[in-house]
Structure 1
Amino acid sequence: MPHFTIEHSANLDARVDFDRLCRTIHKTILGTGLFETGAVRVRAIRSADYAIADLLPENSFIDMSFRIGWGRSDAEKQATGTAIFDAATQELASLFDTPHFALSLEIREIDPDLSWKKNAIHPRLRKQGN
């Protein structure tokens, strides 16, 4: 586990390469050295319906949510969040040229007693040394 979700307003479809953004964030997560390759999931979810701030049609958003398992220090979580936010900010730099874009990131820890998982990817990657 970590699961990273990029929720975005539909009006960004033509302005953002979400496949590239997902891959950038995936690389950044793995670059921290805190997560196994087989555990990382990054996905983008398009929001077709939304109401932002003063309701101007140009307003847009990307809300990033990072759910991780327990066991990392506050310093590790802070460094991870900073690395991801910096990578996303760089990738999305052109969107900040207008006064109509909002970017956010939140990291949440998952309670292991309230989380169930079954993953066939881990054994394959562990055999390969990943």
Structure 2
Amino acid sequence: MPHLTVEYSANLDGRADIGALCHALLRAVLSTGLFETGAVRVRAVRCEHYAIADALAENAFVDLNFRIGRGRSPEEKKRTGEAVFVAASSVLAPLFETPHFALSLEIREIDPDLSWKKNAIHSRLRGR
């Protein structure tokens, strides 16, 4: 488990390559060496309805919610967050040229007693 959910405002259609963002984030997560390949998920959710700041139509956002299992040190979590944030900032750099864009990231640890998983991908990738 690390699951990285990208929520983004619908007005980014045609202004940001969300598919490229997802792939850049996947590479960033894997580059840390802290997560098993078969466990990583990056997904994007387009938000059709939103209200941002002063409600200008140009205002846009990308919010990164990164859920990870326990077992990583504070330094490892910080290093991971920095890698993910740099990757997102790089892909989304043109949006920062306007005063209408906000990017955020939060890492949350999942309580293992309240998390259930079943993953057939692991056995395939581990068998390599």
TM superposition score normalised by structure 2:
0.99
Q: What residue in structure 1 maps to residue 80 of structure 2?
A: 80
SS state at 1:35 partner: coil
SS state at 1:124 partner: helix
Unmatched 5+ stretches in structure 2: none
Q: What residue in structure 2 maps to residue 57 of structure 1?
A: 57
Aligned AA (1:94): P
Calculate percent identity across the aligned residue pairs.
Answer: 67
Unmatched 5+ stretches in structure 1: none
Q: What residue in structure 2 maps to residue 109 of structure 1?
A: 109
Cα distance in 1 for residues equivalent to 2:124 and 2:74: 31
Tell me the alpha carbon deviations over residues 20-59 of structure 1, each in whole angstroms, 9 at most, x when there is no partner: 1000000010000000110000001000000000000000
Aligned AA (1:65): N
Q: What residue in structure 1 maps to residue 93 of structure 2?
A: 93
RMSD between aligned alpha carbons? 0.4
CA shift, 1:13, in A, is: 1.0
